[in-house]
Structure 1
Amino acid sequence: MPRTTARCQPSDPPDESPTALARDLLVACKRDDATDQYRSALAELTDDELRRVGADRETALAFWLNCYNAGTQLLLEERPGLYESPLRFVRFFHAPAVTVGDVSLPLDRIENGILRGGRSKYGLGYLPKLYVTSFERRYRLDGCDPRIHFGLNCGAESCPAIRAYDPNRIDAQLDRATRHYLDSEVEYDSDAGVVSVPRVFLWFRGDFGGRSGIRSFLRSSGVLPEDAQPKIRYRSWDWSKAAGKYAE
């Protein structure tokens, strides 16, 4: 059932800041609080307010990461059959997850149309998104920060843990989320000269700058030695549903 009448009701009206609304919606999902007031306020955001969000990189990253992760949790709770369907990649990722500025946004549109700057989820991260809405064109980020792949949670067991992101700390938070995830998911065999990495590195290889970019990313993240040039193997992805996977 939707969280319209949760046991814990917030006593104060929501902060009018778009970034605070997105953060508070995600926190309400985590705490099993009512979400209606935050969802309604996000739906009522104006173009001016959203353009101000997009004018600052850190603000935009925090806002859209929190919107995506909250949208995932809401979909998993309210429409779990979409994720459990054999047609998950169409039904779940293209279903309306959260409404922002009076536009119903699927997870696919937030991730690929906005956070990844209008890149297709096909073509290993090298191709532009073919169908881009006017909303995506107005608010998409300039370029793609590959660390978002360790901040986004789509409900799968293999996904990173969920954090509430803050514009003032977003770079440190993404660095921490990336390092924590890679420490647990990357395996480097120096004797064999092979590094096994999460499958997102294959699906979005272009976001990381190809194979050489992946190695550089792993070295800068501290999970490969500076002089390592291993072969890359991509691990399988566990799509088992894992709602409520929040960082401690």
Structure 2
Amino acid sequence: MTADIASVPAQFLLAVRRDEPVASLLERLAAVDPDDLSAALNSDDARLAFWINLYNGVTQWALDADPERYENRRTFFSTPLVTVAGSDLSLDDIEHRILRRSYSKYALGYLRSPLRDRFCERYELDARDPRIHFAVNCGAESCPAIAAYTADRIDEQLDWATEGYLAQTVEYDPDAGVVRVPRVMLWFRGDFGRKRDILAFLERYEQIPPGVTPRLSYRDWNWSMHREQYADSEIAAEK
């Protein structure tokens, strides 16, 4: 039972995609014992898959139920939408307090909040992984495609998601010495590191050639709502 709870967000996400009932899955998440959840989420791989799937599933589920929620995005992201182990969580809780370890979304990702939620701190990642920004989908047109992630393959899956998103959004102009990158690399610059770290990240995913040091330029972000922006192929979750 303890191990099974780790796969519930993936099942929930796929049920939302297929327009299947989700009440029993939400009940399981709400009722799970906090210690059992800790035992199931015993690595960053497990935590990444669990919380990314939950974030994406809850976002689509909430927007499917009431698309008008998106008109006030600040409230949409900050209002509790799902209960896990008896704690009510918002999308901001999942993304910024758990996945991003309470690094402020208002300080370019450089400052960690001194006022941390005990529940979120218990289940947060041991280290930030900037690739989450190419996996979490908040419902906007500029967001990455949604897939169901699995703990045993999360590293390669995040590489796949990152590679695909960057291939669609990065533009390198060698003559001008400029590389145009997704705006999340500015908003959460601290997650990616210094400029040289960002350039190394872009080189890793073959968006710039080795050894170049172009200036960074940031794309505009399209906040228009785009629901059901799923990847072409599903990653099967065990049921």
Interval of TM-score (by shorter of Structure 1 and Structure 2): over 0.9
- Note the residue ranges of structure 1 that are not aligned, 5 or more in a row: 1-13
Question: Which residues of 2 match residues 39-188 of structure 1 at below 5 A?
Answer: 39-85=26-72, 88-89=73-74, 91-188=75-172
- Displacement of 1:54 in angstroms is 3.2
2:22 pairs with 28, 35, 48, which one?
Answer: 35
> Which amino acid in the other structure matches residue 37 of structure 2?
L
Deviation at 1:16, TM superposition (A): 6.8
Deviations 1:56-91 (A, max 9, x none): 111111001001101111221223222113xx22x1
Partner SS for 1:188: strand
Task: State the one-letter code of the partner of 2:140.
Answer: A
1:15 offset after TM fit, Å? 9.9
**How many residues are treated as equivalent by the alignment?**
232
CA contact (8 A) 1:115 1:141 kept: yes
Query: 1:142-183 CA deviation, whole Å, 9 max, x = no partner?
Result: 120010110100000000000100001100000000000000
**Letter of the structure 2 residue corresponding to residue 232 of structure 1:** L
1:4 alignment partner in structure 2: none
Give 2:13's aligned residue.
26
Residue segments in structure 2 that go unaligned for 5+ positions in a row? 233-239
Specify the code of the residue in structure 2 equivalent to 1:42: L
Three-state SS of the structure 2 residue aligned to 1:104 is strand
Report the CA distance between 1:96 and its aligned residue.
Answer: 1.7
Equivalent residue number for residue 9 of structure 1: none
Distance 1:112 1:37, change over 3 A: same
Deviation at 1:192, TM superposition (A): 0.7
Return the match for 1:190 from 165, 169, 174: 174
TM-score (norm 1): 0.90
Counterpart CA distance in 2 for 1:62 and 1:183 is: 23
CA contact (8 A) 1:53 1:63 kept: no
* Deviation beyond 6 Å, 4+ runs, structure 1: none
Name the structure 1 match of 2:237. none
Instruction: Give me the whole-angstrom Cα distance separating, in 1, the residues matched to 2:222 and 2:156.
Output: 27
Aligned residue identity for 2:201: F
* Partners of 1:232 and 1:106 in 2: CA distance: 32
% identical equivalent positions: 47
Counterpart position of 1:246: 230
TM-score of the aligned structures, taking structure 2 as reference length: 0.93
SS of 1:124's equivalent in the other structure is: coil
| Amino acid in structure 1 at the alignment position of 2:5 | P
C-alpha contact 1:120 1:130 (8 A) present in aligned 2: no
Whether the 8 Å contact between 1:43 and 1:100 is mirrored in structure 2 is: yes
